Structure 1
């Protein structure tokens, strides 16, 4: 597919990206004009009375925003706050906004991430491509005292109190703007956010800091994703994270299929490898892929991500499992965010 080809060009420094230079110049011009319109006041920015924390990135594709949103919501709830999550609802078919996500909302209607967030969190989750409109709804109809915006770093129509930028092990690719590279905004944008979260292991974290923060005076923290347990899609049965690692018989291993339709599918397969889980085949799908029953082979033990499980739950067979993954961040990060909100 074209998206897969582009990603291969971006992250392998292919010279073929120069064929896309005219389109990148158009993208840069339109983006610059749009942001200038907000700076000089031609376009108005809505500033809420409720503190708003933006969780975003400057590159396309999933890189760990959703786990960070979950961490933030759980932290603030533990501190006595009443958080609400706003999301665009990318990939969903919902047409009426703002829309309050419920446990009965299918991912095809509201989008993958909002459905996952509602499944994991005990708080209100709203979707609306116009986040300022959703923010006004929150102000009028909820008791929220903090809003966590899942994505939206480039959604300048909504004012924000804190900007958090998530970067994974892939860094910024070739450093080019779309479509020559993966960037929605130039690397200079990093100097304007409040904090950068690196979704990476220790070695990758150090390398990314050295590469991206040499000329940027900004706080940064490491975000570690830890696999906690396996969950059955049909009956919510829980297995220890090491359960499938015990499969050593060749016949059992040949019946295990790993699949992932996320921004970086290899991240999931690397996690399985780190858990010493052997499998017959690994199938990669584009981010936000719309799975159907034919994608889930019978007579296989199917291992997948939680994000994919949300979309497959209603047609999965009894031997389908997703890996629950939770993020871990230094306590100093949360304290710094809360302090900025109070100020």
Structure 2
């Protein structure tokens, strides 16, 4: 039922349904309340941690590709000598207490799928909890010198030094309206305030034109972007655990049962087609909780999935179940501007805490 409701609203927001405009009065109320909430949190309740916070988020409902970007950012920071930590809401998890430190062995029903996948991929300290300030403070106490906030653009109680907004290059902003008439959490003009705009995939002409009003896609001298990000497959990994294998482990044209419980399952299916596989798609709701026997498909064929799905299937995985390890590929210009801003932040925070 949840899957049907999700598919229904996605079809409405990203289609051409006209009846949805009857909800515009509610959208106006939503925007008013969201704006008031932001002012209230920023003026009265926002808290600054002792280390810089980089928020990675979006303005739309559903997945845009934040998780691969978070992983690539963490790896880049580690290579530069930082000790990054990651905070997340832990959506889908129900921990016995919060904030919860997530390790590779944490039960997925405690942590949620994305934080566990991030912890396993990066080896960074990961803490989840509805109170991101408390989660961030836990990471500071563990010795982290920089914090990445996963999907935290609208969590204004946590002060941030930098913001990165991720936009889905294929779906864009849907009909351009905020909830409930459209898929947006905040108006598109919110992107004028962020430090970087990252577009996951090549935008179509309409989206490129929309973004050009914020900052031109073709202007390489513009440090804000937008920067085009592509998701690059790395290897196939056994869901049950073990050493990764090369992308060539499946023959060209091989049929596979493709499982995706993510915000935009079609993106995963397209990636498999680009790998010259023949996916039999099985789309599930975002953060779906799989059960044994649910992935028994006919006809028999290997089952492939995302890393986010794999952490929920490991306990009952079969030998022919695999997940695709991926990385986020961004232009050198993005990393150069990030490093420049980080150097300035490091100096500023160091000076602030010496006084």
In the TM superposition, 1:86-97 aligns within 5 A as 86-97=87-98
Q: Is the deviation greater in 113-122 or in 206-215?
A: 206-215
Offset of 1:103 from its aligned partner?
1.5
1:150 maps to what in 2? 150
Unmatched segments (≥5 aa) in structure 2: 217-223, 345-355
Q: Does 1:33 align with 2:36?
A: yes
Task: Please tell me whether the aligned partners of residues 253 and 276 of structure 2 are also in contact (alpha carbons under 8 angstroms).
Answer: no
Task: Please tell me whether the aligned partners of residues 9 and 16 of structure 1 are also in contact (alpha carbons under 8 angstroms).
Answer: no
RMSD: 1.8
Offset of 1:154 from its aligned partner?
0.4
Equivalent pairs, count:
331
Q: Is the deviation greater in 12-21 or in 207-216?
A: 207-216
Offset of 1:67 from its aligned partner?
0.8
Secondary structure of the equivalent of 1:293?
A: coil
2:351 maps to what in 1? none
Secondary structure of the equivalent of 1:246?
A: coil
* Rounded Cα–Cα distance in structure 2 between residues aligned with 1:22 and 1:96: 39
* Rounded Cα–Cα distance in structure 2 between residues aligned with 1:173 and 1:245: 37
Task: Please tell me whether the aligned partners of residues 260 and 283 of structure 2 are also in contact (alpha carbons under 8 angstroms).
Answer: yes
1:276 maps to what in 2? 276
* Rounded Cα–Cα distance in structure 2 between residues aligned with 1:197 and 1:206: 16
In the TM superposition, 1:225-236 aligns within 5 A as 225-236=231-242
Secondary structure of the equivalent of 1:333?
A: helix
Q: Deviations over 1:259-297 (max 9, x none)?
A: 111000000111111122114x31111111111112211
Correspondence for 2:9 among 2, 6, 9: 6
In the TM superposition, 1:196-207 aligns within 5 A as 196-201=197-202, 204=203
Offset of 1:22 from its aligned partner?
4.1
User: Structure 1 residues 81, 127: closer, same or farther in 2, change over 3 A?
Assistant: same
Offset of 1:207 from its aligned partner?
5.8
Offset of 1:19 from its aligned partner?
3.7
* Rounded Cα–Cα distance in structure 2 between residues aligned with 1:18 and 1:209: 25
In the TM superposition, 1:63-82 aligns within 5 A as 63-82=64-83
Unmatched segments (≥5 aa) in structure 1: none
Secondary structure of the equivalent of 1:242?
A: helix
Task: Please tell me whether the aligned partners of residues 56 and 163 of structure 2 are also in contact (alpha carbons under 8 angstroms).
Answer: yes
1:213 maps to what in 2? 212
Task: Please tell me whether the aligned partners of residues 190 and 216 of structure 1 are also in contact (alpha carbons under 8 angstroms).
Answer: no
Q: Deviations over 1:130-185 (max 9, x none)?
A: 1111222222x221111111111000001000000001121111111112111000
Q: Deviations over 1:42-76 (max 9, x none)?
A: x2210122011000000011111111111111111
Question: What is the TM-score normalised by the length of structure 1?
Answer: 0.91
1:132 maps to what in 2? 133
